[in-house]
């Protein structure tokens, strides 16, 4: 077994080194950024802000300036890296496992020696999955630490950053490995496999995950008075609910379009839908457009003066992460399992 | 075209004393696309154990398809193949375990050393004899520490053959391993093959279109043309049972084919053992049967190089 692992390492050392380097650099960067932000000494004592938007003390104002300076520059790059690097490394590690062997015709050599192609695939894929998992776990821990420090400054991860740390990052990376493995086995060509697998992973990460999150949010959203700023104290946070692309602010009052009576924001911990006025006619609303229908709800009427926000409590954030993690593992695991029959039926080049 | 009788599995005319064939094809047919041309058309043959058989034919004759079907790399459109009695479509693992295979392109892992390839073979094939493979490679002056990517074509083929021999498989399938080798490398390859096969009593099938080389190494001949077997017989017997005459001088029923020699002289290959007539060389014999296959080819519309 150790010999097989060693040979797999020799076959894939360039992509393993590239992947580990990428992840290592990003993990170190996240660790350094975490240290910088932690060293600011920003604490909950700086919250809440007063009516003019000032922090609790002048020192807090200065600290927050430093905080924003870090998070908008180097911290921003780390944030982008945490969202992208794990899937990219997953693709780099996963694509060549089968695709390159088919492309370079070494499958004729290997499959004529190994009686079981399932064993062959397992002996190639498992070491790579193991390397990927260890690398992703390290990055996931660093990502979580980084976002934990951002939360001190009330800048937690957005829903689009669910997979930028922790278990969801590991799952998203492993999902990319699985998809890349399957697409590589199907195409038998490295570069086309990389491109197709990247499209699939991006489609899943953007469209698939967004759809799942929207469904979850529909179930988890609650109405909260818009003047309730308790989230600033850390007791209640609001996170995004549905894609604001469903709303059209240019057509106020038009049937089927909620228009200006709603205020939308996809940033986490903020309301995504605010009913400022009672809707004049909701008869044409689609059944799935919950925000509109809920605005006609008596609860909205009660809060007509103050306005109400349709929000998901921040305490649900962990549930989003859990669902994202499980869904990504399911997709990746399914892709890996499907690779076995594909390889079994595959004709070597 | 006149065809020599090809042994058929279950054929009552098959000699009773013939041992169980190691490699069999029973009406094997292969078409890659529906409506496309046939790579193999109802090929039936049987190869006895302990023989070294040359599978000869032009490019596109179906040699590689036939060999790859035995190892389970190609599914058949019709008929079946067996190796040591195993149908590779039903038991590919069993078939692969019976075979040592050298592919046409001899693709090795460029980044791995020769020693790594032996280690790889040990992890993939139970009972792989790395020591004997190392010994053969040392005799061939191929350094174990050399990376496969820096080997010459001949050396790569030798490494692949040593690994195939190291499997200890009772059957060796060699798919045009000589195609890209220079004469010296071909000579070394065939010497190694013959010595190892004779020593172990294995059975080898060597596809090639270099007739002069297979003559020295092989004792059986199968000519494949247009996806069909046009000749299967021992080489010595095949040569002894044919003669060459000037074109137009022999009765049509004994003519295999008429073809032109390089000088332009038109000659006919005929079924005959007449000592007064010159026997063909193996190359002329094969040329005659390939020319005959072109007749088949023309009828089926299949292009032959």
Say what the pLDDT of residue A235 is: 33
Say what the pLDDT of residue A179 is: 98
Say what the pLDDT of residue A336 is: 98
Say what the pLDDT of residue A226 is: 53
Say what the pLDDT of residue A335 is: 98
Q: Which is higher by pLDDT, A148 or A99?
A: A99
Say what the pLDDT of residue A314 is: 65
Q: What pLDDT band is residue A156 in, cutting at 50, 70 and 90?
A: low
Q: ∠ at Cα B101 (B96, B106), nearest 5°?
A: 135
Q: What pLDDT band is residue A221 in, cutting at 50, 70 and 90?
A: low
Range scoring the smallest mean pLDDT among B7-11, B88-92, B222-226: B7-11
Q: What pLDDT band is residue B298 in, cutting at 50, 70 and 90?
A: very low
Helix (H, G, I), strand (E, B) or coil at B245: strand
Say what the pLDDT of residue A294 is: 45
In total, chain A counts a number of residues equal to 349
Closest CA to B84 of B47, B32, B138: B47
For the stretch A131-140, pLDDT in tens is 999 999 999 9
Furthest C-alpha separation in chain A: 77
Give chain B's radius of gyration (CA, Å): 20
Half-sphere exposure of B55 (CA within 13 A, CB side): 28
Share of chain A above pLDDT 70, in %: 69
Say what the pLDDT of residue A79 is: 92
Q: What is the mean pLDDT of chain A?
A: 77
Q: Which residues of A touch B97 (CB under 8 A)?
A: 115
Mean pLDDT of B59-88: 92
Q: What pLDDT band is residue A250 in, cutting at 50, 70 and 90?
A: very low
Q: Do A106 and B109 touch (CB under 8 A)?
A: yes
Q: Do A114 and B74 touch (CB under 8 A)?
A: no
Say what the pLDDT of residue A291 is: 41
Say what the pLDDT of residue A341 is: 97
Within 10 A of A320 (CB to CB), how many other CB atoms are there? 22
Q: Which residue of B has its CA nearest to A8?
A: B120
Q: Find which of A6, A100, A113, A347 to mutate to test the B interface (most B CBs within 10 Å of its CB).
A: A113
Alpha carbon of A199: minimum distance to chain B alpha carbons (Å)? 29
Q: Which is higher by pLDDT, B33 or A322?
A: A322
Q: Which residues of A touch B74 (CB under 8 A)?
A: 347
Q: Which residue of A has its CA nearest to B106?
A: A109
Q: Any chain B CB within 8 A of the CB of A106?
A: yes
Q: Do A4 and B163 touch (CB under 8 A)?
A: no
Q: Find which of B120, B128, B166, B172 to mutate to test the A interface (most A CBs within 10 Å of its CB).
A: B120
Instruction: Write out the DSSP string of A135-199.
Output: HHHHHHHHHHHHHHHHHHTT-PPPGGGTTSSHHHHHHHHHHHHHHHHHHHHHH--HHHHHHHHHH
H helix and E strand count, chain B: 9, 12
Q: What is the mean pLDDT of chain B?
A: 85
Q: Which of A4, A10, A105 sits opposite B107 (nearest CB)?
A: A105
Mean pLDDT of B122-130: 93
Closest CA to A246 of A234, A233, A261, A259: A259
CB-based contact B105:B115 (threshold 8 Å): no
Q: What pLDDT band is residue B144 in, cutting at 50, 70 and 90?
A: very high
Say what the pLDDT of residue A260 is: 26
Q: Which residues of B touch A109 (CB under 8 A)?
A: 103, 107-109, 160
For the stretch B259-271, pLDDT in tens is 888 788 889 999 9
Alpha carbon of A90: minimum distance to chain B alpha carbons (Å)? 22
Q: ∠ at Cα A273 (A271, A277), nearest 5°?
A: 125
Range scoring the smallest mean pLDDT among A242-251, A304-313, A339-348, B74-83: A242-251
Alpha carbon of B102: minimum distance to chain A alpha carbons (Å)? 7
Alpha carbon of B83: minimum distance to chain A alpha carbons (Å)? 14
Say what the pLDDT of residue A290 is: 37
Residues 6+ away with beta carbon under 8 Å from A189: A99, A102, A103
Say what the pLDDT of residue B65 is: 93
Range scoring the smallest mean pLDDT among A45-49, A80-84, B21-25: A45-49
Over 90: is that where the pLDDT of A246 sits? Answer: no
Say what the pLDDT of residue A273 is: 42
Give chain A's radius of gyration (CA, Å): 24
Give residue ranges of B with CB < 8 Å to any A CB.
71, 73-74, 92-94, 96-97, 99-101, 103, 105, 107-112, 116, 119-125, 128, 160, 163-164, 167
To 10 degrees, what angle do helices A166-187 and A117-152 make? 150
Query: Between the CA of residue B189 and those of B179, B195, B214, what are the distances in Å?
Result: 12, 10, 11
Over 90: is that where the pLDDT of B128 sits? Answer: yes
Q: What pLDDT band is residue A71 in, cutting at 50, 70 and 90?
A: confident
Say what the pLDDT of residue A274 is: 42
Q: Which residue of A has its CA nearest to B113?
A: A10
Say what the pLDDT of residue B177 is: 87
Q: Which is higher by pLDDT, A151 or A321?
A: A321
Q: Would you call the peptide bond into B85 cis, given omega within 30 degrees of 0 as the criterion?
A: no
Over 90: is that where the pLDDT of A327 sits? Answer: yes
Q: Do B107 and A10 touch (CB under 8 A)?
A: no
Over 70: is that where the pLDDT of A266 sits? Answer: no
Over 50: is that where the pLDDT of A17 sits? Answer: yes
Q: What is the ipTM of this complex?
A: 0.84
Say what the pLDDT of residue A185 is: 97
Alpha carbon of A349: minimum distance to chain B alpha carbons (Å)? 9
CB-based contact B205:B214 (threshold 8 Å): no
Q: Any chain B CB within 8 A of the CB of A110?
A: yes
Mean pLDDT of B161-181: 90
Mean pLDDT of A152-156: 63
Q: Do B124 and A105 touch (CB under 8 A)?
A: no
Q: Do A108 and B73 touch (CB under 8 A)?
A: yes
Say what the pLDDT of residue A242 is: 32
Q: Find which of A97, A105, A109, A111 to mutate to test the B interface (most B CBs within 10 Å of its CB).
A: A109
Q: Which of A106, A113, A120 sits opposite B121 (nearest CB)?
A: A113
Say what the pLDDT of residue A158 is: 66
Range scoring the smallest mean pLDDT among A168-177, A337-346, B120-129, B223-232: B223-232
Spatial distance between the Cα atoms of B87 and B81, rounded to a whole number of angstroms: 6
Q: What pLDDT band is residue A94 in, cutting at 50, 70 and 90?
A: very high
Share of chain A above pLDDT 90, in %: 48
Say what the pLDDT of residue A213 is: 80
Q: What pLDDT band is residue A308 in, cutting at 50, 70 and 90?
A: low
Work out the burial of residue B228: count CB atoms within 10 Å of its CB; fewer than 13 is exposed, 13-18 middle, 19 or more buried: buried
For the stretch B288-297, pLDDT in tens is 888 887 764 3
């Amino acid at each position: 077994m150790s010999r097989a692992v060693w040979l797999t390492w020799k076959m894939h050392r360039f992509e393993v080194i590239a992947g580990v380097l990428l992840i290592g650099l990003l993990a170190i960067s996240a660790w350094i950024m975490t240290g910088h932000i932690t060293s600011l000494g920003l604490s909950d004592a700086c919250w809440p802000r007063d009516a003019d938007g000032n922090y609790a003390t002048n020192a807090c104002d200065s600290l927050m300036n430093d905080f924003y300076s870090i998070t908008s520059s180097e911290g921003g790059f780390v944030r982008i890296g945490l969202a992208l690097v794990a899937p990219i490394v997953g693709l780099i590690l996963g694509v060549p496992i089968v695709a390159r062997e088919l492309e370079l015709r070494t499958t004729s050599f290997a499959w004529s020696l190994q009686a079981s192609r399932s064993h062959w695939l397992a002996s190639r894929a498992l070491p790579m999955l193991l390397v990927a998992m260890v690398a992703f776990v390290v990055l996931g821990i660093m990502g979580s630490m980084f976002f934990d420090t951002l939360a001190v400054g009330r800048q937690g991860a957005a829903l689009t950053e669910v997979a930028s740390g922790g278990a969801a990052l590991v799952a998203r990376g492993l999902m990319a490995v699985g998809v890349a493995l399957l697409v590589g086995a199907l195409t038998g060509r490295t570069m086309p496999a990389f491109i197709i697998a990247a499209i699939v992973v991006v489609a899943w990460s953007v469209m698939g995950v967004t759809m799942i999150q929207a469904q979850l949010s529909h179930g988890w959203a609650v109405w909260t008075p818009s003047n309730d700023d308790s989230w600033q104290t850390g007791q209640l946070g609001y996170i995004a609910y549905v894609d604001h692309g469903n709303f059209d602010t240019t057509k106020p009052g038009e049937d089927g379009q909620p228009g200006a009576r709603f205020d939308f924001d996809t940033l986490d911990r903020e309301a995504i839908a605010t009913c400022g006025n009672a809707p004049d006619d909701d008869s044409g609303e689609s059944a799935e457009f919950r925000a509109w229908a809920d605005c006609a709800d008596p609860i909205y009427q009660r809060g007509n003066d103050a306005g109400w926000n349709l929000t998901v409590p921040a305490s649900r954030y962990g549930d989003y992460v859990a669902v994202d993690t499980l869904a990504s593992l399911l997709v990746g695991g399914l892709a890996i399992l499907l690779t076995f029959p594909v390889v079994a039926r595959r004709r070597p080049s | 075209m006149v065809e020599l009788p090809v042994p058929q599995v279950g054929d009552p005319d098959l000699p009773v004393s013939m041992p169980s064939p190691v490699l069999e094809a029973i009406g094997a047919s292969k078409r890659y696309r529906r409506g496309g041309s046939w790579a193999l058309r109802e090929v039936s043959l049987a190869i006895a154990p302990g023989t070294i058989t040359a599978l000869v034919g032009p490019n596109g004759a179906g040699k590689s398809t036939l060999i790859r079907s035995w190892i389970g790399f190609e599914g058949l459109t019709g008929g079946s193949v067996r190796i040591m009695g195993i149908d590779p479509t039903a038991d590919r693992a069993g078939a692969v375990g019976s075979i040592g295979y050298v592919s046409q392109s001899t693709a090795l892992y460029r980044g791995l050393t020769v020693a790594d390839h032996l280690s790889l073979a040990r992890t993939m094939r139970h009972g792989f004899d790395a020591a004997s493979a190392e010994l053969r490679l040392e005799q061939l002056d191929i350094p174990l520490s050399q990376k496969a990517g820096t080997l010459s074509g001949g050396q790569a083929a030798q490494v692949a053959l040593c690994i195939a021999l190291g499997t200890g498989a009772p059957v060796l399938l060699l798919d045009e391993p000589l195609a890209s080798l220079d004469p010296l490398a071909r000579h070394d390859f065939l010497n190694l093959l013959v010595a190892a096969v004779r020593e172990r009593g294995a059975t080898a099938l060597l596809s090639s279109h270099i007739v002069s080389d297979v003559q020295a190494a092989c004792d059986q001949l199968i000519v494949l043309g247009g996806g069909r077997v046009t000749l299967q017989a021992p080489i010595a017997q095949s040569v002894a049972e044919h003669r060459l005459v000037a074109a137009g001088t022999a009765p049509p029923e004994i003519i295999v084919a008429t073809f032109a020699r390089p000088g332009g002289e038109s000659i006919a290959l005929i079924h005959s053992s007449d000592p007064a007539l010159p026997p063909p060389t193996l190359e002329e014999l094969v040329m005659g049967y390939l020319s005959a296959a072109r007749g088949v080819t023309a009828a089926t519309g299949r292009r032959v190089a």
